[in-house]
């Protein structure tokens, strides 16, 4: 399965079953979204947010419910995922606050700078460092000075003595919630960066003050900003 082509990897069938498939991970996603809301809450009652790789809309729906006047630009290249996202946005009554862009960032029309961006469980699919840097740089370029990026990705220091143990716990977690998982793709089809490497990547992409604030086994979440 080609994880580098989201429209193939997240095809219609996967998209239709995505939320059900990952339902067992809801407590982790809930914690992820609670912290996302906390980290972005200083933006105040009015904000424009860019949601990149929004999938079926998990972080979009969480933010839209918590901040009723925020508006969102939703970027998602896989048509099946975008279709589910649109349906959920309609059901939540938030479409008037959303602009949907089916595609990648490079084809998104220029607009007023955003106050914040989210990239939740997306960038690890970009295994090539230069492509990943370009991805974060494209996000950074669309943020206002002082604008925030929250990114959550699979990550680990594969050379560290704890790595094997973390992977064992990762497998146990999947098995506990009834999901099969493989491990041979880690570090090959999805990039795994150490904290130091991720920090440097974010800085090289034009962001400052990268701060790791949440870790659940192989998922690490950072907030960084564009220099004011």
Ligand X SMILES: C[S@@+](CC[C@H](N)C(=O)[O-])C[C@H]1O[C@@H](n2cnc3c(N)ncnc32)[C@H](O)[C@@H]1O
Residues of the shown chain interacting with ligand X in the complex, contacts defined by CB under 6 A: 6, 10, 52-55, 58-59, 75-78, 81, 104, 120-122, 125, 135
Closer of 131 and 165 to ligand X (Cβ)? 131
Closer of 39 and 58 to ligand X (Cβ)? 58
Q: Which single residue is written with the structure tokens 């339902």?
A: 23
Phi, psi of 67 (to 5 degrees): -130, 85
Closer of 8 and 165 to ligand X (Cβ)? 8
Residue 109, Cβ neighbours under 10 Å: how many?
Answer: 7
Closer of 89 and 120 to ligand X (Cβ)? 120
Residue 30, Cβ neighbours under 10 Å: how many?
Answer: 12
Q: How far is the CB of 196 from ligand X (least distance, A)?
A: 23
Closest by Cα among 228, 227, 185, 16 to 218? 185
Question: Which residues are bridge partners to 208 per DSSP?
Answer: 225
Structural tokens at position 26: 């809801």
Q: How far is the CB of 152 from ligand X (least distance, A)?
A: 7
Helix ranges, 92-187 (H): 129-141, 163-176
Q: How far is the CB of 228 from ligand X (least distance, A)?
A: 26
Residue nearest to ligand X (CB): 55
Q: How far is the CB of 5 from ligand X (least distance, A)?
A: 9
């Amino acid at each position: 399965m080609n994880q580098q082509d989201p429209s193939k990897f997240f095809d219609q069938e996967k998209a239709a079953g995505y939320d059900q498939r990952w339902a067992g991970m809801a407590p982790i996603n809930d914690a992820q979204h609670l912290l996302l809301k906390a980290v972005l809450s200083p933006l105040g009652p009015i904000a424009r947010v860019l949601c990149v790789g929004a999938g079926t809309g998990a972080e979009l729906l969480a933010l839209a419910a918590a901040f009723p006047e925020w508006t969102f630009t939703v970027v998602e290249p896989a048509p099946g995922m975008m279709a589910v996202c649109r349906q959920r946005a309609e059901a939540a009554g938030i479409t008037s606050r959303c602009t949907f862009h089916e595609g990648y960032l490079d084809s998104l029309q220029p607009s007023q700078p955003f106050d914040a961006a989210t990239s939740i469980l997306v960038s690890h699919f970009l295994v090539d460092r230069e492509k990943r840097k370009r991805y974060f740089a494209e996000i950074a370029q669309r943020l206002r000075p002082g604008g925030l990026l929250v990114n959550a990705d699979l990550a680990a220091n594969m050379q560290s003595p704890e790595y094997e143990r973390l992977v064992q716990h990762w497998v146990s977690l999947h098995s506990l919630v009834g999901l099969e998982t493989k491990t041979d793709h880690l570090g090959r089809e999805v990039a795994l960066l150490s904290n130091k490497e991720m920090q440097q990547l974010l800085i090289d992409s034009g962001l400052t003050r990268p701060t790791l604030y949440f870790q659940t086994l192989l998922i690490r979440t950072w907030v960084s900003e564009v220099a004011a």
